[in-house]
Amino acid sequence: MPNPLLDRHFLERLERLTIHWQRSFPGLVGGHNRSNFAGGGQEFLDHRNYHSGDDLRAVNWRAFMRLDKMFLKMFQIEPRVPVRLLLDTSVSMSATGTPNKFDYALQLAASLCYVGLVRLDTIEVLPFSNAIHEGKTCGGGRHRFTPLSRFLEGLKPAGSTNFLAVSRQFLNDFPQRGLVIVISDFLDEAGCEKALQYIGDYGNELMLIQLWADEDRTPPWSGEFDFVDAESNARLHIHVDADARRHYTEAFDLFSASIKTVAMRNNGKYTGLPTSLSLEEAIFGSMARTRSIA
């Protein structure tokens, strides 16, 4: 059955990708690094006595036959770099564009999660608007993608964006450093740069993915308009002409540059994606060029 968010052919193409980050986190590795902690890994570490309730699959039956005593095999635990994906679900994400930014963000998040699942990374999907809502942790292989997909499909855009509150909540809930992927339009009336800087200052690596609809950057309209802010319901009476449109685009590009500056300043990555760009081109083109994924 084809996945409603991503089709099978696209998923097959995603399987050869890996999420990349630049920073080295002490004690944490990616899917290909060994760990000294015992746990449910693939590599044998030691034996211990069997206690009631242990997984019988880990009992060393050869030793039991020879010694008539049950020993449990212990394997290396492979602590992973935590990957957290902050997904903007504010109303602004669905205000404009065809497809709108929210749908595009869901597809992009699903794609990144699938890449992570294939590489056995654990990704915490955290939807947010003015606060972080209930998330979903996905890990353990590609067969775990379907629950994640259902989770994403269940998300609805609501609320206004408050990056500062979200960053505070994030730092409180997730003190362990890791890779923070933010998929958002970053349209917060209070500004998002300081909040993003907080997250970076706590040792997290930032991968900022800015989405915009075409009319968000280059509005096509001319004439008299009564613009309504999708999140705050603020109104602006304005006459749009070529001059106004040019100034708007310049301001938008300046804003995008400031977000990019935050990412660069924290050794992170920035990718700007218009929703008119196909998802395939966005991942295999734009994000690959920024080495966010490869």
158 makes contact with another protein (CB under 8 A)? no
User: Rounded to the nearest whole angstrom, what is the least distance from the CB of residue 214 to another protein in the complex?
Assistant: 5
Q: Name, in order, each residue with C-beta under 8 angstroms of 225's C-beta and a sequence gap of 6 or more.
A: 237, 238, 239, 240
Closer Cβ to another protein, 201 or 241, answer by number:
241
Instruction: Compute the least distance from the CB of residue 192 to another protein, in Å.
Output: 11
Tell me the sheet residues that pair with 287.
Answer: none
Binder of another protein out of 239, 246, 267, 280 (CB under 8 A): 239
Residues that contact another protein, how many (by CB under 8 A): 53
Bridge partners for 271 per DSSP: 209
Question: In angstroms, what is the minimal distance from the CB of 212 to another protein?
Answer: 8
Interacting residues of 175 by C-beta distance below 8 A, sequence separation 6+: 202
Angstrom distance (rounded) from CA 245 to CA 221: 8
Output the smallest distance, CB 15 to another protein, in A.
Answer: 24
Interface mask toward another protein for 103-142; x: CB under 8 A: ----------------------------------------
Q: Binding residue for another protein (CB under 8 A) from 121, 124, 205, 216? A: 216
Of 120, 174, 181, 176, the closest CA to residue 145 belongs to 120
240 φ, ψ (degrees, to nearest 5):
-95, 125
Q: What is the DSSP string of 81-117?
A: PPEEEEEE-SGGGGTSTTTTHHHHHHHHHHHHHHHHH
Considering only residues 83 through 102, tell me which ones interact with another protein, judged by CB under 8 A.
92-93, 95-96, 101
Q: Rounded to the nearest whole angstrom, what is the least distance from the CB of residue 99 to another protein in the complex? A: 14
List of residues 6+ apart from 188 with CB closer than 8 A: 161, 162, 163, 195
Q: In terms of C-beta density within 10 A (0-12 exposed, 13-18 middle, 19 or more buried), how is residue 269 classed?
A: buried
Q: Applying CB under 8 A, does 253 fall inside the site for another protein?
A: yes
Q: Which is nearer to another protein, 205 or 231 (CB)?
A: 231
Contact call for residue 229 and another protein (CB under 8 A)? yes
Q: What are phi and psi of 7, to 5 degrees?
A: -85, 165
Residues 182-201 that bind another protein (CB under 8 A): 185, 187, 189
Using CB under 8 A, which of the segments 2-10, 117-125, 141-149, 230-238 binds another protein? 230-238
Determine which residue in the list 144, 225, 284, 294 makes contact with another protein, applying CB under 8 A.
Answer: 225
Distances from the Cα of 16 to the Cαs of 12, 82, 183, 293, in angstroms? 8, 20, 22, 10
Report CA 106 to chain centroid distance, whole Å.
10
Instruction: Decide if residue 157 touches another protein (CB under 8 A).
Output: no
- Binder of another protein out of 129, 166, 271, 293 (CB under 8 A): 271
Stretch that binds another protein, among 2-10, 59-67, 106-114, 207-215 (CB under 8 A): 207-215
Handedness of CA 177, 179, 182, 186 (dihedral sign): positive
115 contact partners, CB below 8 Å, separation of at least 6 = 14, 15, 17, 18, 19, 293
Among 207, 266, 274, 283, binds another protein (CB under 8 A): 274
Q: Which residues bind another protein (CB under 8 A)?
A: 92-93, 95-96, 101, 185, 187, 189, 212-231, 234, 236-239, 244, 247-249, 251-253, 255-256, 260, 270-274, 276-277, 286, 289-290
